[in-house]
Structure 1
Amino acid sequence: MTKSLAPEWRDEFVLSRDVRARGRISELLREVRTGILVPVTRGAFRYSAAVTADPDAASDDAYLAKIRAIHLLARTPPIFSSFAAAAVWQLPMVGGWPDRVTTSSVRARGGRSNSTVARSYVGERPDVQIVDGLRVTTLARTVADVARHADFGPAVALADSALHGQRAVGRYRSRQPIGLDAITDELTALGAVPGAALARGVCAFANGASGSAGESISRVGFHVLGLPMPLLQTPFRDALGLIGYVDFWWPHLRLIGEFDGQGKYLRDEYTAGKSAAQVVMEEKRREDRLRALDTSVTRWGWDVAQSLPHLRDHLAAAGLR
């Protein structure tokens, strides 16, 4: 059997056992003391230069680093599942990742859960794919598992992302969309497990037309508040051609809703090298063209999307009740 190549992120990590075998513990301690290395989990360190400088990506980066470290420390490569698999698949987790890394194993080979790893035991080995050098449950199974345990809003945002797919931009890898039936088939196969009803509710609400986690959380808010549900990603055109696709459209009010996350203005994968000022000006011109079509436009960010009272008041001021 041909030995697989080490993933490109392998050199970001230093394992205590490797350093000890070379008799260089004092060097390890010095690099930790001076900040060259930072602890990831017991027995594993990471070069600080590899840690993301993007505050919006810090939670994803730290959790993924812990997953990778656990993979490197394991005698047998673990199968990452649920939240851990979601992180490897680059699915969003609104509100942050859990403290522990989730893995699955057959009962005959099971280990114990601890403060770092939460192990679940299954009668048969789940279908596994290799993603970024790690063994993970399939995308559909991953969504089904997270939807059974996460709160409704974050679970919907994660399911929407899986249904929508992902382009290869910046730090993000390309990910093909999956069909809703793939997720429901996994739930059917799981049977009467805890959280199955919650997961079916997530599937019933999920929509691959949602373009971001912020849009998904906003849409959950509309639902909880009992507001009219909008059309998603509606195209608008004028005499000059396509203006763009709007996040939300309430035709009976001729009201456009746009979720604005900071990433649209600050992160390279969204700005395509343009300055924040250039992006703001382009958005203003786009909005002027939309308003010229006898529409009104209202915008909000995470502070409003994640607060039901703020979202209700914001939309009421725009005429939506």
Structure 2
Amino acid sequence: MSALHELTDLAATRAGLIPASDLAAIGWHPSTVQRLVAGGALVTVRRGVYAAASDWASASRDERYRLLVRATAMISREETVFSHASAAVMHGLGRPGAWPKVVHVLHPDATGGRRRGPTVLHRGPPDPDTLVIDGVRVTSLERTLVDMAVAAPAETSVAMLDIAVRRINDDRSSVARPDEVEELRAGLLTLLGELDPPRWARRARASIEFADPLAESVGESLSRVRIARLGFVVPELQVRFEPVLGSYAHADFYWRGIRRIGEFDGKVKYTRSRLTEGVDVAEIVYQEKLREDALRRLGEGVTRWPWAVLRNGSEFSSLLLEAGVPRAR
């Protein structure tokens, strides 16, 4: 069996990770491992834990950070509770920016967010509701959301909160009921009060109250935060229009007073949507054009923005002004 096949088989037994101990167990000398790393066949995820280069290359940024967290848990010599961004990625929460290059854990002796090598230690009350996900002990979803609302800017925490309130009932085909959303929101606000963070409590509360299950992507969540930050009226989400091409259409955003639709054009919409899986991207774009033309015939204006514009505050503000979006009072 070739070295690459051996690496593939080893990675499969541990869901993508290859600890040095496994390589030693099959007779691989450390010098051989280093040659494979230098040659590009192996990627060092964390000292003493590797991934096959092909697996690493095909992994998304979320998957890569999840591998880093799992690798850290794999080599930890003590019971470790991962928190903040590290718990968030294990819970399946997303974010608009890059994941950190460090892992986050709760530690009773930490002073603030103290860094120890590639690990950030957070001091705080222990979480009695920790759980294990893929071999990693993490803070509960609720504690993770509150920690991120306190520690991260709204652009990050709102994206995570939107995902959490959207999937309350674990049924991706339906939106969480208002009473379910408010129950989770109330629980998060109660937990925030119990943790009583010395800083950023007001920001955390605002992010929790702003969460909305109708936001369907990280890009939409970031758009909502930026629209509010720039001082514009926050739009309605996922408004339905009909008849459109013999059926109906949903708009990401809608300012009813000016009959203006807003659409965030992230690549995910065209390449990863459950509704478009298996359909040619060019056909999806063409159908989007027909849909937009039909909406205009109904008297609705349509404004679109890509990631590049969304990330540039002045450009995004100018775009909204040109579309006639009113300022919040």
Please say whether Structure 1 and Structure 2 have the same fold, judged by a TM-score greater than 0.5. Answer: yes
The CA deviation at 1:107 is 4.8
Deviation at 1:23, TM superposition (A): 5.5
Which consecutive unaligned segments of at least 5 residues does structure 1 have? 1-6
The verdict on how the C-alpha distance between 1:143 and 1:168 changes in structure 2, with shifts beyond 3 A counting, is closer
- SS of residue in 1 equivalent to 2:216: coil
2:279 aligns with: 274
CA distance in 2, matches of 1:210, 1:107: 38
2:315 is the alignment partner of 1:310? yes
Distance 1:12 1:239 in 2: 45
Q: What is the Cα deviation at residue 240 of structure 1?
A: 6.0
The residue aligned with 2:68 is: 66
Tell me if 1:195 matches 2:197: no
Match of 1:10 among 14, 21, 26: 14
Matches within 5 A, 1:70-85: 70-85=72-87
1:28 equivalent among 29, 33, 48: 33
Native 8 Å contact 1:243 1:289 kept in 2: no
Match of residue 99, structure 1, among 98, 101, 119? 101
Change (3 A) 1:126 1:91: same
Are 1:208 and 2:213 counterparts? Answer: yes
Q: State the identity as a percent.
A: 33
- Aligned with 1:186 (options 191, 195, 206): 191
Task: Give the Cα–Cα distance (whole angstroms) in 2 for the partners of residues 168 and 9 of structure 1.
Answer: 28
1:225 aligns with one of 225, 230, 233: 230
Matched residues in 2 for 1:161 and 1:27: separation?
Answer: 43
TM-score, L = length of structure 1 = 0.85
In 2 relative to 1, CA 9–220 (structure 1 residues): closer, same or farther, beyond 3 Å?
Answer: farther
1:240–1:277: structure 2 CA closer, same or farther, 3 Å change rule?
A: closer
Q: CA deviation at 1:125?
A: 4.2
Letter in 2 for 1:114: R
How far 1:305 moved relative to its partner? 1.4
Kindly state the Cα deviation for residue 317 of structure 1 after the two structures are TM-superposed.
Answer: 1.9
SS of the residue 1:299 aligns to: strand
Q: TM-score, normalised by structure 2?
A: 0.83
CA deviation after TM superposition for structure 1 residue 211, in Å: 1.4
Residue 88 (structure 1) shift: 0.9
- How many angstroms apart in 2 are the aligned matches of 1:66 and 1:9? 17
Distance change in 2, residues 1:100/1:283 (3 Å): same
1:141 paired residue number: 143
Which whole-Å deviations, capped at 9, do the CAs of 1:118-157 have from their partners, x for residues lacking one?
1223443441122233221111111100111111222212
Indicate the SS of the match to 2:242: strand
CA drift of 1:20 comes to: 4.3
Bigger mean CA deviation after superposition, 79-88 or 10-19: 10-19
* Corresponding residue number in structure 2 for 1:19: 23
Question: In structure 2, what is the Cα distance between the partners aligned to 1:246 and 1:163?
Answer: 20
Listed as ranges, the gaps of 5+ residues in structure 2 are 1-10
CA–CA distance in 1 between the matches of 2:167 and 2:227?
23
1 CA distance for matches of 2:12 and 2:18? 14
CA separation in 2, counterparts of 1:295 and 1:118? Answer: 49
**1:239 and 1:34, CA in 2 relative to 1: closer, same or farther beyond 3 A?**
closer
Residue 168 of structure 1 deviates from its aligned partner by 9.0
Q: Deviations over 1:55-103 (max 9, x none)?
A: xx3x322211110100111134521111101111121222212221001
- The residue that corresponds to 1:165 in the other structure is 167
Are the counterparts in 1 of residues 236 and 253 from structure 2 also a CA contact under 8 Å?
yes
Q: Cα offset for 1:199?
A: 0.7
Question: 2:13 and 2:163 mapped to 1: Cα distance?
Answer: 24
How far off is 1:270 after superposition?
6.1
